[in-house]
Every structure is written in structure tokens, then in C-alpha cells.
Amino acid sequence: MNVDEMLEGAREAMTVKRVYGEPIEREGLTIVPAADVRGGGGGGGDKENNGGGGFGLSARPVGVYVVKGGEIEWEPAVDVNRISIMGIAAGIVALLVLRSVIKALAGR
């Protein structure tokens, strides 16, 4: 695979279809799923035509657009893992602050 083929594959992977899914229509309601899509790549070679490259892509759902009766609403996706991590991080910070306060009061 040469660099041009790799770039073409990257272009195909990073289309708007990766961000917005196919609309789903049922009983007068249309739902358009949306995702956060990120990608990157790189490549290189030397004077003897030795080379290589690669490309990575990640996507996560962020929500859906709901179309009903001419009105459009955004419904965000709930990422339970992200909420859990933020809760744990907040708890650790709270414990560290509490420890510092207790040490400061004990030193008086």
C-alpha cells in the first residue's frame, strides 16, 4: 500500500456518515444519531523506498437529533463511564483537600 492509497482510505473513513448516522424514521418521528469522531495518521520512508504508515480512528456516541412535527430537539447520550470517572476524581480531590485541612488545623 502506498501513501496515496492510505490517504484515500483515511478520507473514506472520515466522512460525515461517521459523525451522523442514517436517519431512523418511525411513526412520524425521525432520529439522527450523532457521534464524536477523531482520527489521525502518519507515515514515512527512506531513500531506498522503505516506508510505512498507519491511521487510527475512534468514535463515541454523543446523542441524537429528534425531529417530530417540524420541531428539532437534541437528546445527549449519557456516558456512564465518563460520569463514574469524574465522580471518582472528584472524590479523590475532596479527600486530599480534607486531609490538608485536617493537617492545618492539627498544626495550630
Domain holding 47, by residue range, is 3-77
pLDDT digits (tens, 9 = 90+) for 39-91: 877 778 888 878 777 778 888 888 999 999 889 999 998 888 888 999 999 99
The Cα 40–Cα 6 span in angstroms is 12
Residue 13 pLDDT greater than 80, yes or no: no
**Using the 8-state DSSP alphabet, how is residue 78 labeled?**
P
Could you tell me if 69 and 94 lie in one domain?
A: no
Could you tell me if 92 and 66 lie in one domain?
A: no
* pTM of the predicted model as reported, rounded to 2 decimal places: 0.54
Could you tell me if 89 and 38 lie in one domain?
A: no
Cβ-count burial 8-24 (b if 16+ within 10 Å, e if not) = eebeebbeeeeeeeeee
Could you tell me if 71 and 82 lie in one domain?
A: no
Could you tell me if 47 and 85 lie in one domain?
A: no
For residue 89, give the C-alpha cell.
Answer: 476524581
Domain count along the chain: 2
The Cα 32–Cα 21 span in angstroms is 6
Could you tell me if 71 and 84 lie in one domain?
A: no
pLDDT average, residue stretch 4-19: 73
Report the amino acid identity of residue 57. L
